[in-house]
Amino acid sequence: MAEVARTAGVSTATAGRALGGYGSVSPEARTRVLAAAKELGYRRNDLARAVITGRSDTIGLVVADIDNPFFAAAVRGVSDAARAAGYEVLLANTDEDPHRERSAVDVLLARRVDGLIVAPTWGDPEHLQRAQRSGTPVVLLDRRIEGVDLDTVMVDNFEASRRAVAYLVDAGHRRIAMVTGGTRRSQVAPPGQRGVSTGRDRVEGFLRGAAEAGLQEPERYLRTAAGTPDLSQRATADLLAGHEPPTALFASDSRVALGAVKAIRQAGRTIPDHISLVAFDDADWTGVVTPTITVISQPAQALGRRAAEMLLERISGAQEEPREELLPTVFIERDSVAPCADDTRGA
């Protein structure tokens, strides 16, 4: 910059003003500086600027796995909203490992991000609260943490799941199973905080829906820790092979549904004749398989966008109470649910 200033015949202060767009500069000085900068191939150093201003115009984004379609869409939403406001996005994956989440947050904080959007995984969220307290706003995406004062953008997983079960019950089903990832057993945490809120809420919605229908022992048909297609396939196969197999299945996300569909097919059963299926997430393929799958559609991209918007509000100094914002899900009826054909429905 000093060289640009020299070439343009002004002080570095004036050159800085012309290049940085602050203060006031005469039109002629500005053009001279700009010309000199172009001639010399000058490129601004945003890092040095950030050191001075204390703002990096960057937000940190921490998700479990960008390669999961839900998060990919959410990241896209965050990215779009961020860029529209002149912010860049620093991305980190955790693979649901609390240790990686914590270290990712530490690194992003050291890089002086102006704010953080986190889809928190299961451990102690103290690092998130500390970040917020020390002046870096945090917005939770897709997952809430009880007893923590942070903005949160998500859907009503409990209610959506309860309704899905009610829908299956209305179709006459009584032996309704749920396959889900998330809720791990081998986990050290207070009971209320096990697993990820998304998984917990969906399981509780399932249990509530089952209870409301007076179903006996719904836990008998609940399979957790099946978060990948492969695990889900095995869990579903297990369910189908059991005594009094379920006549309907609720899959907690599209990857779980993928494994479930495979297992059902391999077991020689057909959807929806032998077993009905409802899944979370309107993945692209759910509309193209035979039969098409009835799903609870989540506005993944909009969730990301809203999270970014809320974060940007906080960054610009909004001081209201932390709020939990719920975006609506859409229940899309397709062809994977049929009335229960099983005579033993009373079982």
The CA-based diameter of the chain, rounded to the nearest angstrom, is 92
Site of interaction with DNA (CB under 7 A): 1-2, 9-14, 16-17, 19-20, 22-29, 42-45, 48-49, 51-53
Using DSSP's 3-state secondary structure scheme, residue 280 falls into: strand
* Residue 24 or 216 with smaller CB distance to DNA: 24
Single-letter residue type at 280:
F
Task: Work out how close the CB of 136 gets to DNA at its nearest, in angstroms, rounded to a whole number.
Answer: 14
- Residue 77 phi/psi, 5-degree rounding, is -60, -45
Q: Which of DNA, its own copies, none interacts with 212 (beta carbon under 5 to 8 A by kind)?
A: none
How far are the Cα atoms of 218, 285, 335 from residue 338, in angstroms, in the given order? 20, 20, 8
The token pair at 5 is 């200033």
Q: Which of DNA, its own copies, none interacts with 27 (beta carbon under 5 to 8 A by kind)?
A: DNA
Task: Work out how close the CB of 290 gets to its own copies at its nearest, in angstroms, rounded to a whole number.
Answer: 5
* Residue 103 or 297 with smaller CB distance to DNA: 103
Q: Which of its own copies, DNA, none interacts with 25 (beta carbon under 5 to 8 A by kind)?
A: DNA
Task: Work out how close the CB of 262 gets to its own copies at its nearest, in angstroms, rounded to a whole number.
Answer: 6
Site of interaction with its own copies (CB under 8 A): 41, 43-48, 50-51, 56, 58, 65-67, 69, 72-73, 75-76, 79-80, 83, 88-93, 107-112, 134, 229, 255, 258, 261-262, 265, 283-285, 287-290, 301
Task: Work out how close the CB of 310 gets to DNA at its nearest, in angstroms, rounded to a whole number.
Answer: 25
Show the CA angle centred on residue 199, arms to residues 264 and 219, nearest 5°: 60
Residues 6+ apart with CB under 8 A from 250: 161, 164, 165, 168, 176, 177, 178, 179, 206, 277, 278, 279
Distance CA 347, CA 344 (A): 6
Q: Which of its own copies, DNA, none interacts with 11 (beta carbon under 5 to 8 A by kind)?
A: DNA
Task: Work out how close the CB of 9 gets to DNA at its nearest, in angstroms, rounded to a whole number.
Answer: 7
Task: Work out how close the CB of 249 gets to DNA at its nearest, in angstroms, rounded to a whole number.
Answer: 54
* Residue 136 or 298 with smaller CB distance to DNA: 136
Distance CA 310, CA 165 (A): 32
Q: Which of its own copies, DNA, none interacts with 22 (beta carbon under 5 to 8 A by kind)?
A: DNA
* Residue 198 or 286 with smaller CB distance to its own copies: 286
* Residue 53 or 187 with smaller CB distance to DNA: 53
Task: Work out how close the CB of 13 gets to its own copies at its nearest, in angstroms, rounded to a whole number.
Answer: 19
Task: Express the helix, strand and coil content of the chain in percent, nearest 5 each.
Answer: 45, 15, 40
- Go through the chain and tell me how many residues it has: 347
Beta-carbon count within 10 A of 38 CB: 10
